[in-house]
Amino acid sequence: MRAMKLDPDTCYKAVASHDRRFDGRFFVGVSSTGVYCRPICAVRTPKRENCTFYDTAAAAEKQGFRPCLRCRPELAPGELAPGHGLADLSGRLAQAAATLIDEGFMADAGVAGLAARIGITERHLRRLFDAQFGVSVLEYAQTQRLLLAKRLLTDTGLTVTDVAHAAGFGSVRRFNDVLKTRYGLTPMAMRKRAADNVADELVFELGYRPPMAWAAFLQFLGVRAVEGIEQLGDGTYARTLAIDSGGRTHLGWLRLEHVARRHVIKVTLSGSLAHVIPQALGRVRRLCDLGCRPDVVDQHLGPLAAEAPGMRLPGAVDGFEIAVRAVVGQVISVKHARTLLGRLAERHGLPLAQPTPALRFTFPDAAALVAVPPEALREIGIPLGKGRAIHAIAARVAAGELKLEPNAAPEDTMARLREVEGVGDWTAQYVAMRALGWPDAFPGTDYVLRKVLGVATVRGMNQHVAQWAPWRAYAAIHLWRRHEEHKADKPDKPERDDKTRDTP
């Protein structure tokens, strides 16, 4: 087993204090009980000599430990997205692979497909994955499938057959055998209580490391919410979702609610997403930046973060959608951009089978917009130049030439975006912030950011914000929040890109 990144004595102190800052960063195996726990587990603190520490749940299970039924390791916050503090390339690649596994990628592909997705050979993936996590790719994937199945059995009313397939097992028999071998339990023995979920809704909880500036996070999403695909209300956020898996597109919706006392985000999914639960939960983690270490980010930003400690970097459920939003939003008000995006989604998105008044259709994907000529977008008010940029990005994404997701290389992705006519640095940086989750992206040409900071030139802006690297994207979110809170009833001001076409 590879050495722990954290000192064992430090880990034990975290366990003894139930320090939430370490939740999800490691797990503790307890030899006297044979189970492994999160550092925040409420049981009596085990003796030091009975504790061993592991970076991942898979590493703990490899040593024969079973997951604790009280603190439930499957509910621990995830690791940071690739690029959040991982200095070496091997670490970023391994974390990218782990994130894809967590989001159900291997339900439709094997190790070779996973290696191809992140752009390395299968042999190299196996080697760096073992070096980073101390387990093989298949061992890690097996643990994630079991932990998901455990969650579905505990938290939902899905049948055992549906649980087995949703968790990625090829058959119920295979699921039963693995569960019995690894945990010594049958599915029905694990399902201790009747689930509260109704047939058409699935409810989960995703943990985070406190604090969480939920109100400020909702404000950011609310200002940019698009009618027909998003809804804000009573401290909740809801939106439609389209996920491709198993040769078909699954349409549905999700609703998010903050449960502050338990430090979790309550996630409600429509029943139509039952077969793509890992993918849906993965998108929620990216959207809400649940791998964030607010103690590290806020300390680095200092006074800038004091008004909203725990502010997350709002991500995306779909990177292509963010790119389209960025292009449409160039040099026009946010309100005007929302109107155009709503028309685009209504005309070219997919309708939900069971829509609500607020959630009626999904945002169109790249394949759908490739089929729409730029001239047709003019009919809904999108200028021809922006339509051509959208069409060019859609063609590259649909062909697999451009990946707008957290495991994509940020500098290379931004360079490819800038090659598209009508896409400047503002657009590329904004996409890197939200679609790639890149923490150091910063749209320095942004009109609002320059106004708030009182900086007249791009060079001056770059010099000023250097103090916030490598968390400049979080700084931008705080500065936008400050502007939105203080502008009151003043008219919207344009967000400008000095390399885009003129406003119509």
Amino acid at 187: P
Our answer to whether residue 37 is catalytic in this structure is yes
Residue 434 CB neighbours (<10 A) = 26
- CB contact burial 44-69 (16+ within 10 A = b; e otherwise): eebeeeebbbbbbbbbbbbeebbbbe
C-alpha 499/C-alpha 495 separation (Å) is: 12
C-alpha 39/C-alpha 26 separation (Å) is: 7
Of all helices (H) and strands (E), which one includes residue 66? strand 66-67
199 contacts: CB under 8 Å, gap ≥ 6: 157, 271
What percent of the chain is helix, strand and coil (3-state, nearest 5)? 50, 10, 40
Our answer to whether residue 446 is catalytic in this structure is yes
- What is the distance, to the nearest Å, from the Cα of residue 175 to the centroid of all Cα atoms in its chain? 27
Q: Which of 11, 37, 41, 51 is catalytic?
A: 37
Contact between residue 327 and residue 422 where contact means Cβ atoms under 8 Å apart:
yes
362 contacts: CB under 8 Å, gap ≥ 6: 229, 240, 241, 242, 251, 345, 349, 350, 352
Of all helices (H) and strands (E), which one includes residue 100? helix 89-102
C-alpha 340/C-alpha 349 separation (Å) is: 13
Q: What is the 3-state secondary structure (H, E, C) of 380-412?
A: HCCCHHHHHHHHHHHHHHHCCCCCCCCCCCHHH
Q: Which of 23, 289, 446, 497 is catalytic?
A: 446
C-alpha 36/C-alpha 48 separation (Å) is: 14
Q: Which two tokens stand for residue 140?
A: 């890690």
* Local structure of 223: helix, strand or coil: helix
Q: Helix count (H) and strand count (E) of the chain? A: 22, 9
Catalytic residues: 37, 446
